[in-house]
Amino acid sequence: MPLGRYRKAALNQQVEPAVVCRGLRKVYDGKHGLFRKPSPSVVAVDGLDLVIQRGECFGLLGPNGSGKTTTVEMLEGLLAPTAGEIQLLGLQWGTAEQALRERVGVALQETHLPEKLMVEELLTLFRSFYRAPRPMADLLADVELEEKRRAWVGKLSGGQRQRLAIACALVGEPEVLFLDEPTTGLDPQSRRQVWGLVAGYRARGGTVVLTTHYMEEAERLCDRVAIVDHGKLVRVGSPSELIAALPGDHVIELELEKNTKNNASVLTTDELGLVTFVKEAHLSAEGLWSLAVREPEHAVAAVLALLERKGCTLGRLGTRKASLEDVFVALTGRHLRDG
Amino acid sequence: MAEPSKRPSPIVQLTLMRLREIGREPGVLFWAFGFPVLLSIALGIAFRVRGPEPTVVGALPGISDDLKQILVEGKIQVKPLDAASAEAELRAGRVNLLLVPPQAPAQPITYRFDPSRVEARQARARVNEILQRAAGQTEPRLVRDEEVHEPGSRYIDFLIPGLLAMNLMSGSMWGVAWVIVHMRVRKLLKRLLAAPMRRRDLMFSIGLARLVLIPMEVAFIVLFARLFFSVQVAGSYLALLTMAFAGSASFAAIAILVASRAQNTETVSGLMNLVMLPMFIASGVFFSASNFPDSIQPVIRLLPLTAMCDGMRAVMIDGAGFGGILWPLAILALWGVPAFLLGLRYFRWN
């Protein structure tokens, strides 16, 4: 690795954020054709402003269809924005594409890598694109695929394939790494391996921009998250800040006994809201109450007392710490997993 | 300052990717090598040199046994029929001709046949010749038959260059158009573009992979045709390879145009068939293109596959050198160059 590049990068670090975008917008034109129904234009990303600092791990958190992938693909220079401005490492895609490609690593949401290639052959292919590729042994060690170096890509498990995709993104030792839903569809163990991989890259000083709809992933990995919905930025902050901004830092979930479920209205939002320490109450369509509370041990006692007074039989009760999921629900009124 | 490791060449690696994908996919190998061989075996056997079709004649009751005997000795199959079934047999073509006995001793024998059927007219001629000769007719003019079975003039000699041209055409179309769209569908194209890969390296490597395969495909079919059917190459192998490369390049350019916008493999398969099917039929792969009406001959002559078939046949059958394939080469360039420029112009990378 040429020393000069590091020194330059270190200098840039003082002045330029990793990613800046202003008024980013993407509209997909509706299709018109003789034989198909005209479809209306779709606004996928609607005026996004982001600043991502170097060394940061930044997450775009939102449900499917919220515009996360469109946003990162514009940042990656793979999709032309309808409007808005993007700066990566102080450069722009239009004028410095080749230079940026050397300095940015990309793992797309799903790439079907050539199945008949061996792991080693695929990495060699990607190494051929970069001026100063990382040594094969380092790449294989990073993604724990040393033993699979001679295996066909098609024979790898989902987790191994995803690690290989990330290895392809790491070949040029990028300054910014984009990961679009890196653990979607992976089992918990593979997911943790990917998280470890991201942590290792960050330890070497890299900036990570990732999208996810797993709140646990965002909380675990990200210094800051942007909550996006319908192509708009809803809130930006560190996971702990966002959670701390909720009315309650814990959630009580309770369900009444089946026979009283049908008249769940025996409890009302107002009544529950009046209970000490309960800040907010929601009733889901399935009859599950979730209460945003502070000091859960006292809140539970107060809620149980209310139930006793009303003569309701408790079916199930649990408490948990508030998560980014609750932040998302509080901000948008919807769950992350909803379409 | 030590470079951490040597950098491989992107063009070599991209080409190797293509060749490995092909070499490790038995299906691809079959379509490139097995299929044309099977096709030429089947067609070669179907059109193998063989004797004329047997002539079958229906004899109505009343035709004498002597007469039947004369015909049988003349290698005519005689089928005794009753009046009821005779007409049905004739209509179905199971007999080529009916012999109807004379109404009275002085009357002539009647040949009943459908003159619009070639084999019926042949049957009439043969039956008549045998019967007239048996009755004492002689041939006043001396003639001699000479049957042609020489290599170079058989159907298989005509077929193999056409098959070679057709195979190189579909090889280029599949090996370029389908491969590009398949990469686009799998988002591999997008992934490669997200790396600092030069677009021209990718295009170049797809062409290079074809370049490696073409001599193998040509050699395989030519060798097979030589061993199995003794098909010779009358002209120079260099001219043959030149035709193969030029034709493949022209079709690769057309393939880039076909693949430039297609978003899924169904669309590109449809487009490829749209391009290739009319030429399979019109360009004289299996039968001479001159069978088509004169009015559309100029169009057929300008088709790239016609040019390729003509060029291949000129080299393999007529022994043409480079001078004899200039016109086919010009037509191929006429298609290839504009197709390539348009294809690049409208190419959808993302």
The CA R_g of chain A, rounded to the nearest whole Å, is 24
Domain-terminating residue out of B75, B100, B134: B134
Alpha carbon distance A52, A36 (integer Å): 42
A74 and A217 inside one domain: yes
Instruction: Look at residue A102 in the predicted model and tell me its pLDDT.
Output: 95
CB contact under 8 A, A128 and B4: no
Domain-terminating residue out of A195, A221, A238: A238
Nearest CA in chain B to A137: B5
B112 and B253 inside one domain: no
A191 and A306 inside one domain: no
Q: Is residue B74 included in any domain, yes or no?
A: yes
Query: B58, B219 in Cβ contact below 8 A?
Result: no
How many independent structural domains does chain A possess?
Answer: 2
Instruction: Look at residue A1 in the predicted model and tell me its pLDDT.
Output: 43
A157 and A66 inside one domain: yes
B198 and B259 inside one domain: yes
Q: Is residue B145 included in any domain, yes or no?
A: no
Domain-terminating residue out of B134, B165, B180: B134
CB contact under 8 A, A121 and B186: no
Mapped onto helix, strand or coil, the DSSP state of residue A58 is strand
Could you say which of A3, A102, A121 has the minimum Cβ distance to residue B196? Answer: A102
Chain B residues whose CB is inside 8 A of the A93 CB are none
A182 and A113 inside one domain: yes
Q: Tokens in use for B70?
A: 């004369």
Domain-terminating residue out of A238, A256, A288: A238
Give the DSSP H/E element, type plus range, for residue A226: strand A224-229
Instruction: Look at residue A334 in the predicted model and tell me its pLDDT.
Output: 75
How many independent structural domains does chain B possess?
Answer: 2
A254 and A225 inside one domain: no
Helices assigned H by DSSP within B74-198: 83-92, 118-134, 155-172, 179-185, 188-193
Inter-axis angle of helices B118-134 and B65-73, to 10 degrees?
110
B166 and B253 inside one domain: yes
Q: Residue B4 to residues A1, A136, A150, A206: CA-CA distances in angstroms? A: 7, 10, 22, 19
Long-range contacts of A271-280 (CB under 8 A, 24+ apart): A271/A306, A271/A310, A272/A303, A272/A306, A275/A299, A275/A302, A275/A303, A275/A306, A276/A302, A277/A248, A277/A302, A278/A248, A278/A252, A278/A302, A278/A303, A279/A247, A279/A248, A280/A247, A280/A248, A280/A330
- Choosing among B1, B5, B201, which should be mutated to test the A contact, i.e. which has the most A CBs within 10 A? B5
Instruction: Tell whether A184 is within 8 A of chain B (Cβ).
Output: no
Q: Is residue B99 included in any domain, yes or no?
A: yes
Instruction: Look at residue B150 in the predicted model and tell me its pLDDT.
Output: 65
B176 and B297 inside one domain: yes
Instruction: Tell whether A245 is within 8 A of chain B (Cβ).
Output: no
Domain-terminating residue out of A185, A220, A238: A238
Q: Is residue A192 included in any domain, yes or no?
A: yes
CB contact under 8 A, A131 and B197: no
> Taking chain B (350 residues) in consecutive chunks of 10 residues, what is each chunk's mean pLDDT?
66 93 83 77 70 79 87 87 87 88 85 88 90 83 76 81 91 90 92 92 90 90 88 91 95 94 90 92 86 89 94 92 92 95 87
CA torsion, points A107, A112, A117, A120, in degrees to nearest 10?
A: 20
Domain-terminating residue out of B99, B134, B169: B134
Name the pTM for this structure: 0.78
B214 and B318 inside one domain: yes
Q: Is residue B23 included in any domain, yes or no?
A: yes
A72 and A202 inside one domain: yes
B76 and B162 inside one domain: no
Query: B318, B235 in Cβ contact below 8 A?
Result: yes
Q: Is residue B70 included in any domain, yes or no?
A: yes
Chain A residues whose CB is inside 8 A of the B24 CB are 116, 152
pLDDT by 10s per residue, chain A, length 339: 444 555 555 555 556 899 999 999 999 987 766 666 777 888 999 999 999 999 999 999 988 888 999 999 999 999 999 999 999 999 999 999 999 999 999 999 887 899 999 999 999 999 999 999 999 999 999 999 999 999 999 999 999 999 999 999 999 999 999 999 999 889 999 999 999 999 999 999 999 999 998 888 999 999 999 999 999 999 999 999 999 888 888 888 888 876 655 455 567 777 776 777 788 887 777 778 888 888 888 888 888 888 888 777 788 888 888 888 888 888 887 776 654
Q: What is the CATH number of the domain that holds B74?
A: 3.40.190.10
Query: A164, A115 in Cβ contact below 8 A?
Result: no
A209 and A252 inside one domain: no
In DSSP terms, which residues pair with A152 in a beta bridge?
Answer: A118
Q: Is residue A334 included in any domain, yes or no?
A: no
A173 and A271 inside one domain: no
Range of the domain at B191: 10-47+151-345
Q: What is the CATH number of the domain that holds A283?
A: 3.30.70.980
Range of the domain at A94: 6-27+41-238
Q: Tokens in use for B235?
A: 């002209």
B39 and B93 inside one domain: no
**Cβ neighbours of B262 (radius 10 Å):** 21
CB contact under 8 A, B17 and A121: yes
A160 and A301 inside one domain: no
B42 and B81 inside one domain: no
Q: Is residue A122 included in any domain, yes or no?
A: yes
B90 and B203 inside one domain: no
A74 and A122 inside one domain: yes
B308 and B168 inside one domain: yes
Instruction: Look at residue B237 in the predicted model and tell me its pLDDT.
Output: 93
A259 and A161 inside one domain: no
Instruction: Look at residue B30 in the predicted model and tell me its pLDDT.
Output: 81
Query: B168, B35 in Cβ contact below 8 A?
Result: no
Instruction: Look at residue A260 in the predicted model and tell me its pLDDT.
Output: 53
- Portion 193-222 of A in contact with B at CB < 8 A: none
Mapped onto helix, strand or coil, the DSSP state of residue A310 is helix
Instruction: Tell whether A150 is within 8 A of chain B (Cβ).
Output: no
B17 and B122 inside one domain: no
Q: Is residue A219 included in any domain, yes or no?
A: yes
Q: What is the CATH number of the domain that holds A20?
A: 3.40.50.300
Q: Is residue A260 included in any domain, yes or no?
A: yes
- Portion 67-96 of A in contact with B at CB < 8 A: 76-79
Q: Is residue A213 included in any domain, yes or no?
A: yes
Residue recorded with tokens 């001219």: B239
Nearest CA in chain A to B17: A117
Instruction: Look at residue A313 in the predicted model and tell me its pLDDT.
Output: 79
Q: Is residue B5 included in any domain, yes or no?
A: no
Nearest CA in chain A to B190: A78
Q: Residue A266 to residues A256, A272, A281, A309, A312: CA-CA distances in angstroms? A: 10, 11, 14, 11, 8
Q: Is residue A164 included in any domain, yes or no?
A: yes
B236 and B261 inside one domain: yes
Q: Is residue A119 included in any domain, yes or no?
A: yes
Q: Tokens in use for A150?
A: 């001679």
A111 and A183 inside one domain: yes
Chain A residues whose CB is inside 8 A of the B21 CB are 114, 116-117
Instruction: Look at residue A271 in the predicted model and tell me its pLDDT.
Output: 74
